Every structure is written in structure tokens, then in C-alpha cells.
Amino acid sequence: MRTCLTLMRRLWMWLLLCGLSGAVLPDCSNLHTDCAPADIECNGWATILLAHTVRNTVFIANYTGNIHYSYNGVSWSFPNQVTGNVINRFAYGNGLIVGVGNNGAIVYSANLENWTLAASPTANALNGITYGNERFVAVGASNTVLVSGDGINWTLETIGAGISLQDVGYADGLFVTSRILSTDIYYSTTGLSGTWQQKTIPSSNHLAFGNGRWVFSDGVGNIIVYSSDLNNVLYANAAASAGSNDLIFTDGAFYSMSAAGGTVSRSLNGDDATWQVFATGCPSAGTAQAISALACIDQRCVIVGNDNSANRAMCTSSNGTAGSFTNITPVAGNPTYGIVQALDLGPGLQF
């Protein structure tokens, strides 16, 4: 069976040759690949090509500097390792994938296969990174904010003394970051020192933006929803039904996850009344399990963490039904996974 990625590579060459020679495009009705059914229409090779130039998304995971990636959440590739530090978050912008992690580690790649360790102006842990306003902004422990226009060269900025930051996002002209174990958030249009403003909200740890609103969760079930300018509270609940060990926005909806058992819930608006259980049943789940991160692409979700024996665990769900998770841990053993994310790399073929 040809993989979907291999098919796309060969397809590109065949299209080029056919275009140069005037040859008739071959029929694809008898092909067997691991492409999703929606990815293929047998109306000629151009139709298949079109399906894969519309969106180019990838799952990316990490444990102790070991980065691996997957286009379908099941089959994973393992590029070179350039650091022994845990990478806590990734972001894509300006043609570059950038990851930040413990001890100030910064890694970057233009193709997912070849990674380079960047010079970092800090040794503090970096917990979050985002891209917006033509720049990367990373945040971390001990008042650390880093800003870069290219993802390679970084400057050290600050927010305030004694502040450790957890997550960061960008939307509608604002960088927004959350403070660890606090109800404080900070926002800025540039990310630079002296531009950050503080706001106190009922809960903040994880954050996500979508459908014109910011959603914040504190990791223990408390969720609050703000308008895009952070001026108006749209919803607040001190005992939300959604788990909030991780929080993302993708494919038009918010997704949250509980730490124990990895139950994934979904909501269009982030308010409690609309959260519904989306996927459950990770085979490694148990009372001692800690699921740490969640990523979803086209309603396929991947969760990572550790099992009851503190070994790495990764599960994937191909549809939104209870019990739909299956264990696909690609590399068994310790230490645990720290992160999985879904990155939108923009239009283009998967090479």
C-alpha cells in the first residue's frame, strides 16, 4: 500500500511530466493508499492534488527533546534530535516551525525533518509560544518573554518581577498570556517590554481564541469566556462540565480535556451549556494516569501523557464517539510525553 505522503510526492512528479509531454493523466480508481476517503476523488490526478493543497496540517509531539510528527495521527516520523530538553510548545509562522522548552531551549525547522538549536537569551523554562503581527512571542518562568521576527534570533523582554507565564496566544491584534497559578493575564500589541497590561480574571492557566472570543481555563474545571478585546465577560462558571487540563480551538470549535482518563469535550462557544463529551476510552487510562496535552485535526484527536506505570501514552480517536480512543503509542517507555499539538502549515503539499 502506498502511503498518502508517498502518493502526493509521486503525483507531483507525474503532473509535471505529463504537463511537459502532453500525456494523458492516468486513472486513480484502483489505487490503494492510507489517504482519508475525503482526500481522493478519481476525476484525475489534479483532483487529488487539489485536495492536499487546500490545507496542510500536522500533529507534532515531544518527550525529552525527541520530536516526532504525523499527518494522520497514527503513523509517526522521527527526525533528528538536537536537544535533550523537553519542548513544551510549538508554533508556525513565516515558513518556520519553532519549539520552545525547558532551560530556555529553542528549536526550529523549515521541513519537520531537519531541526536546529537556536541561541537563546535565557536559561529559564519556556512554556508557550505563538506567532502573530509578523513575530514570534514566547513566554516562560521568572518574568521571561522572548520576541523574534524570524524564529531564529531572539530578544529578551519582560512583563514584571516574580511573574511566571504558562500559555500565550495571538488574535485580533493582541498577544495574550496567562500567569501560572494565578488569576492574572497580560496582553500587548507587540510583546515588547513596557507594553504589557495586566488584567485579573476568575481563572487563567490555559487559553484559546476562536469564534470571536477568548476562553480561559484554570486546569481544575473553571472556565471563563471574554470578548476578543477582553473588555466583556461573555460567560463564567466556577464548576464547568468541561475538563480543562488542556484547551485548544480548531475546526470551528473549542476542545478541552481532563487529566484523568483523557475525556475530550467540545464546544462551539466555550460556555458550559454547549460542552459535550467528544471522545473517551484511552486504553491506558486509569486513576494514576496524567494526560497532559490534546490536539485535533478534522475531528481526529490525539492525546498524550503517561499511563498508570508512568510510561508514555498516546491515544487517537478517529470520530467523536465514547470509547473511540485507541492506543497508538509509537515509542514505549519513559519519560512521559510533554506535548502534542496540531499545526496548520498553510496551503501546500506535504513533502
pLDDT at 51: 36
Residue spans of the domains in the chain: they are 4-48, 56-344
In the chain, which residues have pLDDT < 70? 1-55, 219-221, 238-244, 259-261, 272-273, 283-289, 308-310, 319-323, 334-335, 347-351
pTM, full prediction: 0.81
Q: What is the pLDDT of residue 64?
A: 84
> In the prediction, which pLDDT does 161 show?
73
CB atoms within 10 A of CB 6: 12
**For 75-90, b where at least 16 C-beta lie within 10 A, e where not — what string?**
ebeeeeebbebbbbbb
- Rounded to whole angstroms, the Cα distance separating 64 from 67 reads 8
Task: Please give the CATH number for the structural domain made up of 56-344.
Answer: 2.130.10.10
pLDDT tens, position by position, 275-284? 888 888 776 6
Q: What is the pLDDT of residue 39?
A: 46
